[in-house]
Amino acid sequence: MTSVPLGPGGEFDRVRAIAAALGSDARGLGDDCAVLPGDRESLVLSTDLSVEGVHFRRDWLSLEEIGWRAAASALSDLASAGAECTGLLAAVTVPGDASESDLVALMKGVGAAARHAGGAVLGGDLSRAPAWSVAVTVVGRAARPVGRAGARAGDTLWVTGALGGARLALEAWTAGREPGRRARAAFAHPLPRIAAGRWLAAHGATAMIDLSDGLGADAAHVAAASGTRLEIDLDRVPLAPGAPDASGGEDYELLAALPPVFGEADAAACAAECGVTLTRIGRVVAGAGLTVTRNGESVQLHGFDHFA
């Protein structure tokens, strides 16, 4: 039986069941990216699906924003592997009442995200369907790909950027309000941290993951894959303006485990070179699972689960 070291949750129970059913027909499941080793560089691949009514709503976002967001979510997986972007493929389902210009607008967003990451649109597929969906497969290369399984006791935990902005936007829309400019941008126009991911990989990152499912869920995946315990201090976690906590998902920032020698001067160098802050939020210790504290008290930090 193929074992997939993932954190708890209904979605991940299904991944484990799929892996068990596939057995030797599958390999490397459970990481952000598939990695195919090469002589000098590894080929890095990932795919991500955005579905209307689940990941986005047309009354919240323009079609160009929907395309950008769909591509950025997949490109964020390349960032977590420390990979540069070669390009992407987009498979789009289009509802019958959509026009050609609607489709072009969505693909303009996909193309803009690919260009921002240093790649291009390499191909894809089109089909008619009851609703919009965008499946993006990204292709990249890495000299030293980083996965979830390398965190070791003694490492420190760092996060890029600030968390909680996307959740603020979602809460505003759900309540019938228009979100603030920064919160809306966090949800509609996330920036995959390609440059930061490559920098962290080059400077010794032992494990990385993007925070698409939320800090709690994704940190638990690193702990499970690495066979260690992660300890996170919520008082250290950088929050977007107005965000009450870091329990939301879809921030597309990076959580990285780095060697004990990595310090604040290194974090400042990362910020100067990559244009994004890097904040220490915890550590890796012997054991298993995830411990989260606030004001010294243990708390639960939940993430997003499609099948909860």
- The residue written with tokens 């976690």 in the block is 237
Average of pLDDT values for 140-148? 96
Average pLDDT over residues 185-200: 97
d(CA 156, CA 260): 6
Which pLDDT band, with edges at 50, 70 and 90, does 300 fall under? confident
**Residue 2: pLDDT band with limits 50, 70, 90:** very low
- 102-138 burial, b if ≥16 CB within 10 A, otherwise e? ebebbbebbbbbbebbebebeebeeeeeeebbbbbbb
Residue with tokens 């879809």: 250
Under the banding of pLDDT at 50, 70 and 90, the label for residue 210 is very high
pLDDT for res 3 = 63
At 115-130, the pLDDT tens digits run 999 999 999 999 999 9
- What is the three-state SS of 295-308? CCEEECCCCCCCCC
Distance, in Å, from the CA atom of 298 to the CA atom of 287, rounded to the nearest integer, reads 17
d(CA 138, CA 90): 9
* CA dist., res. 105 & res. 231, Å (int): 43
CA–CA separation, 194 vs 254, rounded Å? Answer: 10
Which pair of tokens denotes residue 61? 């976002």
Q: How confident is the model at residue 8 (pLDDT cuts 50, 70, 90)?
A: low
Per-residue model confidence (pLDDT) at position 1: 36
Confidence of residue 308 (pLDDT cuts 50, 70, 90): low
- In single-letter form, the type of residue at position 156 comes to T
Residue 101 has pLDDT above 90, yes or no: yes
Q: What confidence tier does 239 reach under pLDDT thresholds 50, 70, 90? A: very high
Could you tell me the pLDDT band of residue 15, with boundaries at 50, 70 and 90?
confident
Where does the chain hold its CATH 3.30.1330.10 domain(s)?
32-142
Write out pLDDT tens, residues 154-172: 999 999 999 999 999 999 9
- List pLDDT tens digits, range 55-77: 999 999 999 999 999 999 999 99
pLDDT at residue 250, as a whole number:
87
The H or E element spanning position 78 is helix 63-80
CATH 3.90.650.10 residue spans of the chain: 156-299
The yes-or-no verdict on residue 248 having pLDDT over 90 is no
Fold of 32-142: 60s Ribosomal Protein L30; Chain: A; (3.30.1330)
| CA distance to 72, 76, 118, per residue, from 137 (Å) | 11, 11, 15
* Domain spanning 156-299: CATH superfamily: PurM-like C-terminal domain (3.90.650.10)
User: What are residue 25's phi and psi, to 5 degrees?
Assistant: -80, -5
* pLDDT score recorded for residue 304: 54
Percentage of the chain surpassing pLDDT 90? 84
